[in-house]
Structure 1
Amino acid sequence: MNSEEEFYDAETGLESDDSGEVSFKDALVLEHKQAATQENGVWERRKTLPAEMISRNNFSVWSILKKCIGMELSKIAMPVEFNEPLSFLQRISEYMEHTQLIHKACTLSDSIDRMQVVAAFAVSAVASQWERTGKPFNPLLGETYELIREDEGYRLISEQVSHHPPVSAFHAQSLKQEFEFHGSIYPKLKFWGKSVEAEPKGTMTLELLKHKEAYTWINPMCCVHNIILGKLWIEQYGTVEIVNHSTGDKCVLNFKPCGMFGKELHKVEGYIQDKSKKKRRVIYGKWTECMYSVDPKVYEAYKKTGGDSKKLRQEQSCEGEEADEMPEVQDTVTVIPGSALLWRMTPPPANSAQMYSFTSFAMTLNELEPGMERLMASTDCRLRPDIRAMENGDIESANTEKERLEEKQRASRRDRSKDEEEWSTRWFNLGTNPHTGAEDWLYTGGYFDRNYADCPSIY
């Protein structure tokens, strides 16, 4: 096993429509038609994985983590059995699952209306983590992932730009030049005996080009409970501030911790204020389910009357003696009269529990579309043999290939050190986020020109 492996939980140029990507798009559509096997002649995205999730019953995380209590999990080797068959770069792309919210924000004329939809998008970006207790594969240095969704009107490129510390950069852009969404992520993890806590490092930046607006925020904290004993479960908590750098509007969202009796599990509450700090809307809901918006006066009046309070069916502490028991999830969010629905989570597919708790969107991320293999970069993680083997249910091959790739990466690092060479990123450069002034990895453009002759051999 690689002692230098990073343990993850589970995170500029805009080419015009006459760039090299269009010729690729045309070629891809043509190959889709040629390779289609469905009766209607149209290629369809898959709805299941090639094999069901492997059992983790015979493996002990405790044997690996017992010496790491209170430490940052930056160099802990984890067996492949605790992974899910996706790279962390693919996991990042799940931020785009609810891209329709960005498209909606682009159509709205009022900045407060846009902010509340952007807030819903920020919440939706972490929603797919619910019940995703397998860790994604650590990207190799130089690994990439591209995602083109013509049906959703965007394309995305991500790259592993650093190994120590591990940093993943991504850039998504509208095919019609309506928005850009980008960031660089370095999750800092610690093991606390019964749980693993992930502190999100890295700023999310959403630019609505038509409105000349830029929004930034940092994702909430994430905690995976019952690492040693009991059923694994996830909570998100912490304050998320979304800032509109063009108007001065701000949205403050409180992802509430579970609490002693589980009353606040999954709840998100917050407000939108304008540049004069006047509260304009109240936002509430659950990050696992839905988000609503309501007038602040209506919200306060509802709270003063006690609302439609319901007694918990079972008051159950989050701090059990043997395990951090997950409180019973309440059926729905209690909707305050006069509220507007901003977003609702797409129900998971029926076979999700047998497929690593993937959403329908996640199920498609490691799929190789017809003709795509010869067109994309050789560094794309869909070409990784260890992830592909795990997806196919071949754990022995997955472990063998994982160890081979890790040794190849170590050998490459030794060679660079001997020759006093530094690694050069391909698609992103370290710079300054123009909206926050903070250091950030920014997309340099050119990926979709399809010139990959100098891509490194990492697999």
Structure 2
Amino acid sequence: NPILGETFQGAYPNGTQVYIEQIAHHPPISSWQVYDHDARYHFFGNGTWAASARGNSVKGQQTGANTVRFSHDDAEVSWEMPYLTIRGVLFGERYLKYGGSMRFQDAAHGLTCDVDIDTEGPGFFRSFFRRKKAHAQDAVHGVLRGKDGEELDVLTGSWLSHLEWEKGVCNGKLHTVWDAVKTPVDRAIAEREALPSDCRFRNDLVQLKTGTLDAAQRAKVELEQVQRADRRLRSEGLKRASA
């Protein structure tokens, strides 16, 4: 698990910069900043996880604000993530899927888009009596509405493969706005000149990569002790400040 104050600095192959920091330990909260290489947008937010186990599955959700600010008009689009279910935790084939609803909001332009993911539900009887055709659990359906609630466009597709608008963008010239084959996901490459707090420099992880497990465990315990000591100091400081 990341420790308080742990950071990561990196860049994607196209030059987009990413910065991440662990800003809380209990509950664990991560904060991030992503800067487009052409300064077209700034993506920022923070998130923590809440999860519950049920038999052979775990259901969780990343909560916290996600926001993209566009430089050409300073408009911001914000949203929260749907829930995630992992099945096959104890036995059987393990797989994960998203589900639930997401709301994207653009307050500057009065736009909202409610996106549903796998909203048919898992019940056998519900599926038997109500479904008229096969239901894809990765299906995405959304409705874009204006400030007066009028329907502007409809989003369909799959969070695994593609997303497309019914009416399209750019005056209807472009309908598919994301294609997993044409726009594969790249991993951020760590910066060489990073802060001392960068996750690559954690002594326990360094020892773990070299295969010295005993040394890695000792280093992990030392880090945890430092974290506890820092927490006590902060608590004492708050008490003195409020006295």
Instruction: Note whether the superposition's TM-score is higher than 0.5.
Output: yes
| CA separation of 1:201 and 1:405: change in aligned 2, threshold 3 A | farther
Counterpart-to-counterpart distance in 2, 1:236 and 1:388: 34
1:250-296 per-residue CA deviation (whole Å, 9 max, x = no partner) reads: 11100115634672311111111111111111101110111111049
Answer yes or no: is 1:221 the counterpart of 2:83.
Answer: yes
**Aligned residues with identical type, % of pairs:** 19
Match of 1:290 in 2: 162
1:172 positional shift: 1.2
Report the count of equivalent residues.
223
- Supply the AA of the counterpart residue of 1:255: I
Q: Output aligned runs, 1:439-450, within 5 Å.
A: none
CA apart distance, 1:409: 2.9
Cα offset, 1:378, TM superposition: 1.2
Q: 1:269 aligns with which of 128, 141, 145?
A: 141
Q: CA RMSD in A?
A: 3.0
Structure 2: runs of 5+ lacking an equivalent: 128-133, 238-243
In the other structure, the counterpart of 2:175 is: 340
Letter in 1 for 2:9: E
Q: Which residue of 2 aligns with 1:407?
A: 221
Which is richer in helix?
Answer: 1
Contact map agreement 2:14 2:37 (CA 8 A) in 1: no
**Which residue of the partner structure matches residue 4 of structure 2?**
141
Q: Specify the alignment match of 1:421 in structure 2.
A: 234
- 1:378-397 equivalent positions in 2, closer than 5 A: 378-384=196-202, 386-387=204-205, 397=212
Post-superposition Cα deviations, 1:310-330, rounded to whole Å, max 9, x if no partner, equal xxxxxxxxxxxxxxxxxxxxx
Partner secondary structure for residue 104 of structure 2: strand
Determine the C-alpha separation between the residues in 2 that align with 1:239 and 1:422: 38
Partner amino acid for 1:384? R
1:174 counterpart = 2:46: no
CA separation of 1:169 and 1:288: change in aligned 2, threshold 3 A: same
Distance across 2 between alignment mates of 1:181 and 1:216: 10
Distance 1:409 1:389 in 2: 13
Q: Is residue 376 of structure 1 aligned with residue 189 of structure 2?
A: no
Greater relative contact order (CA < 8 Å, ≥ 6 in sequence): 1
- CA distance in 2 between counterparts of 1:142 and 1:180 reads 22
The separation in 1 between residues aligned to 2:21 and 2:117, in whole angstroms, is 29
Give the aligned partner of residue 278 of structure 1.
Answer: 150
CA distance in 2, matches of 1:423, 1:295: 59
C-alpha distance in 1 between matches for 2:161 and 2:214 = 36
1:405 & 1:285 partners in 2: Cα distance? 47
Note the alpha carbon deviations across 1:388-421, whole angstroms, 9 max, x for none.
666x6x6x536752x3343123211342355x33
Partner AA of 2:100 in structure 1: G
Tell me which of 341, 358, 361 is aligned to 2:186: 361
- Deviation for aligned residue 1:344: 0.9
Q: Which amino acid counterpart does residue 230 of structure 1 have in structure 2?
A: G
C-alpha distance in structure 1 between counterparts of 2:178 and 2:185, whole Å: 17
Offset at residue 157 of structure 1 (A): 0.9
Q: TM-score, normalised by structure 2?
A: 0.80
What SS does the corresponding residue of 2:220 show, helix, strand or coil? helix
CA distance in 2: counterparts of 1:379 and 1:243, whole angstroms: 35
Match of 2:113 among 251, 258, 261: 251
Contact 2:11/2:190 (8 A) holds in 1: no
Q: Which runs of structure 2 are paired with 1:3-402 in the superposition (5 Å)?
A: 138-149=1-12, 151-257=13-119, 259=122, 260=124, 263-295=135-167, 340-346=175-181, 361-362=186-187, 365=188, 372=192, 375-384=193-202, 386-387=204-205, 397=212, 401=216
Cα distance, 1:406–1:190 mapped onto 2, change above 3 Å = farther
- TM-score, reference length from structure 1: 0.44
Give the distance between the partners of 2:59 and 2:90, measured in 1 at CA.
Answer: 14
Give the whole-Å Cα distance in 1 for the aligned partners of 2:100 and 2:8. Answer: 29
> In the superposition, relative to structure 1, how do residues 246 and 417 fare at CA in structure 2: closer, same or farther (>3 Å)?
closer
Q: Is the 8 A contact 2:6 2:21 kept in 1?
A: yes
Return the alpha-carbon distance in structure 1 between the equivalents of residues 178 and 95 of structure 2: 23
The separation in 2 between residues aligned to 1:281 and 1:166, in whole angstroms, is: 38
